[in-house]
Amino acid sequence: MNETAAVPTAPLRARAEIDLGALRANVRALRARLTGAALMAVVKSDAYGHGAVPCARAALAAGATWLGTATPEEALALRAAGLPGRIMCWLWVPGGPWREAIDADLDVSVSGMWALREVTGAARAAGRTARVQLKADTGLGRNGCQPGDWPELVAEALKAEADGLIKVTGLWSHFACADEPGHPSITAQLDRFREMTAYAEEQGLRPEVRHIANSPATLTLPETHFDLVRTGIAMYGVSPSPELGTPADFGLRPVMTLRASLALVKRVPGGHGISYGHHYTTPGETTLGLVPVGYADGIPRHASGTGPVLIDGKWRTVAGRVAMDQFVVDLGGDEPPAGTDAVLFGPGDAGEPTAEDWAQACGTIAYEIVTRIGARVPRVHLNGEEKG
């Protein structure tokens, strides 16, 4: 997990600057959309590549009251780092660290009978009550309990509650197509969620929170907010989908800026093949810039020939293949010195591309662009302290 690094005094090969002030402002902008619902900061996968611990702290400082992770190990690491309050994790496999999760006061998710058996067993051994959230599959078809199996899961959860082994703190689900406005699955999932939560409550469960909204639902579907929203990508200032709008349309600001220092600038003749496979050939005499990041750093190989980079005031394009540690851009005769800043993506207001531009260039989603930035790229956390 990336810890806050000092602001570098010397240029580094590459770095991802993480603007925690922007993250706090994004959390506040998201909370302003809520009427009564609380906000869970989703910080799984090292906070989508932004650094889990500093981002979790910043989100709590801005009023988030829950933290969410996929794996129990991620949640345990947050607790070990001293993060207070409610932390939920939802991606379990048999034999998972239930006992550690109970001891660390995590909220754990249960999608089926095997998980309920494991968590009640661990609670009995610990002599403590586990906080359990039951997950319903309302139509995503991924994790979660199918509607037909829900009565059995609810009945067994009620028994475990009566035995003092668990407390069902939440009922929850996840959308398949909240980023596609008007998709018919949205209302179908909402209807099923209402039915499944109503059934569980009629049977006697008294959850603190019911939740289904991710970022796109939080931004565009207020009827989905219930008691809690789980926001990931929007908190990092990235739009869930270009179809919904830009980050600025929602009052959000991108948190990550990815920069590298040009390692070499050189003049080459026309007809020169560039990088593995020679998929780019210089059309005439030109200058090349060597950008010292590659697919080992999370730069998609699919950016070969397409990825945009701001260098010396102009957008340049990856020339030829992205290699493991480096790629080349055609500088078109310009000769910025080695060491010049190459900005792959950032908020966009200094003319640099955004993560959305990279997603479009690579045929993927901006979630993947920020999350995949590798561990070899130091995260530099800026604006960690609130000013004023």
Ligand X SMILES: Cc1ncc(COP(=O)(O)O)c(C=O)c1O
The footprint of ligand X (CB under 6 A) covers 42, 90, 174, 214-215, 230-234, 240
Looking at the Cβ atoms of 231 and 261, the one nearer to ligand X is 231
d(C-alpha 213, C-alpha 376), whole Å: 33
Could you tell me how far CA 374 lies from the centroid of its own chain?
14
Smallest separation, CB 236 to ligand X (Å): 8
Six token digits for residue 329: 């851009």
Looking at the Cβ atoms of 56 and 234, the one nearer to ligand X is 234
Active-site residue, 276 included = yes
Looking at the Cβ atoms of 12 and 177, the one nearer to ligand X is 177
Smallest separation, CB 191 to ligand X (Å): 20
Place of tokens 């602001």: 7
Active-site residue, 236 included = no
Smallest separation, CB 203 to ligand X (Å): 24
Strand segments, DSSP code E, in 237-331 are 256-261, 264-268, 273-274, 280-281, 286-291, 308-311, 314-319, 327-330
Smallest separation, CB 242 to ligand X (Å): 14
Place of tokens 């993927």: 364
The DSSP bridge partners found for residue 86 are: 66
Looking at the Cβ atoms of 327 and 345, the one nearer to ligand X is 345
- Single out the catalytic residue among 44, 236, 280, 367: 44
The H-or-E segment that residue 46 falls in is: helix 44-49
Looking at the Cβ atoms of 150 and 236, the one nearer to ligand X is 236
- Single out the catalytic residue among 159, 266, 276, 314: 276
> Which amino acid, 313?
G
Smallest separation, CB 174 to ligand X (Å): 4
DSSP summary character for residue 387: P
C-beta atoms surrounding 182 within 10 Å: 7
Smallest separation, CB 280 to ligand X (Å): 35
DSSP summary character for residue 40: E
The DSSP bridge partners found for residue 172 are: 135, 211
**What is the largest distance, in Å, between two alpha-carbon atoms of the chain?**
79
Kindly give, in sequence order, each residue whose CB lies less than 8 Å from that of residue 336, ignoring residues fewer than 6 positions away: 262, 265, 289, 311, 312
Looking at the Cβ atoms of 230 and 259, the one nearer to ligand X is 230
d(C-alpha 327, C-alpha 102), whole Å: 47
d(C-alpha 28, C-alpha 90), whole Å: 25
- The residue sitting closest to ligand X, measured at its beta carbon, is 232
Which residues belong to the active site? 44, 276
